[in-house]
Amino acid sequence: MGRRLLFVPLPFQGHINPMFHLASLLHSRGFAITIFHTHFNSPDPDNYPKSYRFIPVPDNLSDTVRSTKDGVAHIHALNKSCQASFRDILGELLSSEEESVACVIFDAHWYALQAVAKKLGVATMVLRTGNATSFNLFMAFPLLLEKGYLPIQESQLDAFVSELPPLRVKDLPRLMITTSLESYAELLARGVEQVRTSSGLILNTFDSIESSELDQIKRDLSIPIYPIGPLHKLSTQAQTQSSLLAPDQSCMAWLDSQAPKSVIYVSFGSLAFMDPNELVEIAWGLANSGLPFLWVVRPNLVHGSDRIELPKWFEEETHGRGRVVPWAPQPEVLSHPAVGGFWTHCGWNSTLEAICEGVPMLCRPFFGDQTGNARYVSHVWKVGIVLEGKVERGRIERAIKTLIVEREGDEMRERMADLKAKAAQCIMAGGSSYLAVDNLADSILALQT
């Protein structure tokens, strides 16, 4: 019986982390692991168990594509350029493998590879690294276009999207300026198509936070779904193992010296970028709040730069009160008792990591599913506030104080404690995600019989 699984992560941090956690989880259930990876953002095999096999799939991407800020165009280009090499490499592997392959597990955005795997006769499953809500949105996208919710009109921002409650028009995905709506719609449609033709959809979410959204997916799909999140809590792999940038561990010692729940942790994930003025407004907001902070300033956080120097006054104003790092060991930071709030872009991994550690959020979504996630954080779970409008120092200062020192922040923290408990329950023996993992492992083994 084949117990080897092939994993094909999409080479971006927010997709790599959950896919490697899934690999680690299934490895602990006795499956052998092979990772197909691109040259772009390739993993370091030394960070993983020796038994993992790593097989490069040449991506042949031009430097222009590699450095584009248009993530959607980048994903289309990857699909196009990897399809032929994927076919050759997978074909060779399937014909030579002594131990048979049980299944290939793709990221939902590797749409062009699914058909290839099917043709070669191997079973496939799809991991959607976002939540159930965003997958419902993928499925509803053609309808949203047809009904005129999209493209988003300024005059309609507060209108409700009756097909996807509680989202409003302004919670629908915002696109980067260089991305066309057609190109985005195609990405989503092809992702949904590949899910429908696979043997199962795996989701990094859990039943008690998105039960009606999961029911909706079950109604719309005729394949099994496996809500097995939070994956980073179920896997035994440390998240730093799949980090593309080296996390600055020294911030943990600094956190040790701070009072409980006093620090605002600020990070906008791996892809979001801003203009230089926004960076300066954030710096002023943090300085004027008078509160301790840990701020992740990635080398490419500001549009058009690959090295950022903060203004000199910032160091003087905040001396001893804050830390700026290029990359943090985020789940560890969020679990530190000194952290009282998380200013986030609301990427799904970051949102889930905050929920698991019970840290309330200040949300500033940038693009894609982040706006919808922010709506759930602020409106459904009521564990965060959204920073709307222009990024401006006064607003930032007030929002940070609300989250860290005011009663409103404490109330959100209390509700967060409930969510944290639910996240912990679902992965315990008999919990919904625990059972879904059992179900997934059994289903994979049954695929070949």
Only one of the segments 69-77, 110-118, 208-216, 346-354 lies at the binding site for ligand UDP (rule: CB under 6 A); that segment is: 346-354
Contact between 384 and ligand UDP per CB under 6 A: no
- Over the window 194 to 233, marking each residue x when it contacts ligand UDP by CB under 6 A and - when it does not, the resulting string is ----------------------------------------
If DSSP codes are grouped into helix, strand and coil, which group holds residue 407? helix
Only one of the segments 37-45, 88-96, 155-163, 349-357 lies at the binding site for ligand UDP (rule: CB under 6 A); that segment is: 349-357
Contact between 13 and ligand UDP per CB under 6 A: yes
Contact between 330 and ligand UDP per CB under 6 A: yes
Kindly identify the residues of this chain, within the stretch 296-325, that bind ligand UDP according to CB under 6 A. 296
Cα 387 to Cα 40, 346, 348, distances in angstroms: 34, 12, 17
The residue within the footprint of ligand UDP, chosen from 225, 328, 383, 403 (CB under 6 A), is 328
Would you report the helix, strand and coil content of the chain in percent, each value rounded to 5?
50, 15, 40
Q: Which of 77, 145, 134, 143 is nearest to 111 (CA)?
A: 77
Residues in Cβ contact with 339 at an 8 Å cutoff, skipping those fewer than 6 apart:
255, 261, 263, 265, 294, 333, 357, 359
Token pair recorded at residue 83:
């399809």
Only one of the segments 12-20, 58-66, 135-143, 379-387 lies at the binding site for ligand UDP (rule: CB under 6 A); that segment is: 12-20
The residue within the footprint of ligand UDP, chosen from 213, 281, 353, 357 (CB under 6 A), is 353
Residues touching ligand UDP, count (CB under 6 A)? 21
The residue within the footprint of ligand UDP, chosen from 314, 327, 343, 376 (CB under 6 A), is 327
Contact between 270 and ligand UDP per CB under 6 A: yes
Q: Which residue has the tokens 């092809």?
A: 190
Q: Which residue has the tokens 């772009």?
A: 40
Kindly identify the residues of this chain, within the stretch 147-186, that bind ligand UDP according to CB under 6 A. none
The alpha carbons of the chain give a radius of gyration, in whole angstroms, of 22
Contact between 43 and ligand UDP per CB under 6 A: no
Which helix (H) or strand (E) segment holds residue 54: the answer is: strand 53-56
Contact between 349 and ligand UDP per CB under 6 A: yes
- The backbone region for 115, taken as left when phi is positive above 0, alpha when psi lies in -120 to 50, beta otherwise, is alpha
Contacting residues toward ligand UDP, per CB under 6 A: 13-14, 17, 239, 243, 247, 267, 269-272, 296, 327-328, 330-331, 347-350, 353
